[in-house]
Amino acid sequence: MAESRQRQQADEEVSAPAPIDVLKALAREGLTFSDCVKVFAEQDHDQDTDAYVSAAEDRYAEEGSIEVDAPTVVSVSDDGGAYVMAWLWVSNGDAGIADTCERCGNEPVTDEDSGLGDKCRANNDSRVVL
Closest residue by Cα to residue 126 from 113, 102, 115, 118: 118
Say whether both 64 and 77 belong to one domain: yes
Say whether both 39 and 26 belong to one domain: no
- Condensed to tens digits (0 to 9), the pLDDT of residues 99-117 reads 887 788 777 777 777 777 7
* pLDDT, the chain, mean: 84
Is 130's pLDDT higher than 50?
A: no
**5-9, 28-32, 67-71, 110-114: which has the minimum mean pLDDT?**
5-9
Say whether both 58 and 75 belong to one domain: yes
Say whether both 59 and 69 belong to one domain: yes
Say whether both 42 and 23 belong to one domain: no
Report yes or no on whether pTM surpasses 0.85. Answer: no
- Condensed to tens digits (0 to 9), the pLDDT of residues 14-46 reads 788 999 999 999 999 999 999 999 999 998 788
Domain that residue 63 falls in:
33-89
Is 125's pLDDT higher than 70?
A: no
Say whether both 45 and 67 belong to one domain: yes
Long-range contacts of 76-85 (CB under 8 A, 24+ apart): 76/48, 76/49, 76/52, 81/52, 82/48, 82/49, 82/52, 84/52, 84/53, 84/55, 84/56, 85/37
Say whether both 47 and 76 belong to one domain: yes
Say whether both 15 and 41 belong to one domain: no
Say whether both 66 and 55 belong to one domain: yes
Say whether both 39 and 18 belong to one domain: no
Say whether both 85 and 99 belong to one domain: no
Structural domains counted in the chain: 3
